[in-house]
Structure 1
């Protein structure tokens, strides 16, 4: 079996899912080619495991100061380039297209009548999660952006019959490395949509605590109680296991990893991004995170003094998903999801 795996690269959570699922696909003997879109190719990093992957422009949103910039987003759309990318993507050699909310591969599969599976957090937003009513237009918008024959949403609870647990990379190696590093307590910070200088100044208002801030910098440096580090897919998971808590935007992947690892969460949703609004609402409703919207010291201090969180174990769906794909997606999604949630954590 050979599949094309399209990955939306706007945020790192989609790529994290691909990293988690790829070994299970390979164990099933499935050959996988990747296509990434939504981020300039030169901004992708630590991509060796994906081999000679394809890249397309796709669609993404522009942000500034923690907010989606709607007009700038619209001005950067390249519909004719998107149409060319979809038209030129030949899927004749593939048995199936798997899309993590990646629109080029999704629309190419739809146009060519190819069996396709959508696996992404966004597909869960078709439902009123944690009691929050889904916007009336959202279900249609999600299906139009990246359509697929079968839709697999991911969520933190088995709230609806076709929702699966998060797909996350194995944390065993990171846990073992973290145990061998006797670091002083620190808070892990990742706020990529915010101004780095603003975040640093905010953290420095709490000099009694140590912070590790991962940001778009070229080399490590320290400012008082804040250590600023370049992005890394090897160092970051270790620090996630070692830290006392996590401050981040409301991206699904990192919040999932923090919850499973038993880290308390302080989240700032990206303003204007509906997925992060839903994620924040659900996390707060579940009692798994505190929310802040402004860089003032009060919410930070209140959260820092809160006790540690308990781990939130979830079953790993990777092997079951890979087996289901290999068998041609013949089992109903609801049966697949039910079997996964019944697995031991």
Structure 2
């Protein structure tokens, strides 16, 4: 079997998930990865055969999206050109983790695909949303990367096609400890902005994961660390708690490890507001932004109860098996459709 796996490289979560998934997919055949986007900070140890700048999200320094930079990077002409050139029709299975060029390529070439990943879970109306829905956000989640069938991942099984998060093997095999530090990853803020708030708690040690730092070094109560998947995971395994955005992979792993979790959604990113609503149901405090009340908020959080621990309903292997079952059903549907077309033509020309 030849498998085409489209991976969105906006942020780090999609790549981290792909690293866990690919070895299981390779048991079924050859896997070629299409990496789309250019602002992930992780090393990409994947079988990448195709690559594109794609459509990426960029962040400013104070918790929001950088719309100007996003607009400069976007070229509709190039996206259509790349979609036409993408050889999705040469593969037995197309898996799409929220990637728009692959979605367009499959439409143009009439190739069935499976939308797989966290964003696929938003195809269900049962997936948590914030009290105030954003029609534009809903439009993007539902139309940015459409597919023939969906396998969603979320914190809980909100619908029949939604399954457990894919948790790294390093986390699954871990023996969590509490060594007293707090792991901080807030990619939508600059180091300087985050550090100015962390310094307000001089007796608390923080591991701050930075896009700028290349080596580990300590300044005051902050140990600055370069962004590295294994390094961050090790920090989180041994942390008192985790402060991060309202993404998916990191909060899921923190909840699985039964760590205290404090989340600051990226401003203007509707998916993170949806995640925040789901995390709130787990007892996770949500902060709208870093503000003058940050010191008190962190102290209250540290003195409060742990959130509800996340339990995995299925292993990664079992989720891949569900994905392959979905792929088999796609083949049946395509065969039935082709037979219908043949029968229809036969009747037409009698």
Q: Which residue of 1 aligns with 2:228?
A: 232
Specify which of 260, 270, 273 is matched with residue 274 of structure 1: 270
After superposition, the Cα gap between the structure-2 partners of 1:44 and 1:195, relative to the gap in structure 1 and judged at 3 Å, is: closer
Shift of 1:71: 4.2
Q: Is the CA contact (8 Å cut-off) linking 2:65 and 2:188 kept in structure 1? A: no
Distance, in Å, in 1 between the alignment partners of 2:80 and 2:139 is 20
Specify which of 57, 67, 72 is matched with residue 70 of structure 1: 67
Q: Which residue of 1 aligns with 2:341?
A: none
Describe the superposition over 1:155-177 as per-residue Cα deviations: whole angstroms up to 9, x where unpaired: 2122222222212222357615x
Q: Which residue of 2 aligns with 1:162?
A: 161
1:32 aligned counterpart, secondary structure: strand
Specify which of 314, 317, 330 is matched with residue 316 of structure 1: 314
Any unmatched runs of 5+ in structure 1?
A: 333-345
TM-score normalized with structure 2 length: 0.85
Q: Which residue of 1 aligns with 2:195?
A: 200
The 5 Å alignment of 1:142-291 reads 142-171=141-170, 175=174, 184-216=179-211, 217-291=213-287
Whether 1:14 aligns to 2:14 is yes
Q: Which of the two has higher C-alpha Rg?
A: 2
Shift of 1:193: 1.0
Distance, in Å, in 2 between the alignment partners of 1:241 and 1:305 is 19
1:295 aligned counterpart, secondary structure: coil
Q: Is the CA contact (8 Å cut-off) linking 1:265 and 1:290 kept in structure 2? A: no
Describe the superposition over 1:228-259 as per-residue Cα deviations: whole angstroms up to 9, x where unpaired: 00011221111111111000011111110100
Distance, in Å, in 2 between the alignment partners of 1:214 and 1:124 is 29
After superposition, the Cα gap between the structure-2 partners of 1:70 and 1:128, relative to the gap in structure 1 and judged at 3 Å, is: farther
Q: Is the CA contact (8 Å cut-off) linking 1:187 and 1:212 kept in structure 2? A: yes
Distance, in Å, in 2 between the alignment partners of 1:44 and 1:321 is 26
Any unmatched runs of 5+ in structure 2?
A: 331-350
2:197 aligned counterpart, secondary structure: helix
How many positions carry a matched residue from both structures?
324
2:304 aligned counterpart, secondary structure: coil
Distance, in Å, in 2 between the alignment partners of 1:105 and 1:131 is 27
Q: Is the CA contact (8 Å cut-off) linking 1:284 and 1:290 kept in structure 2? A: yes
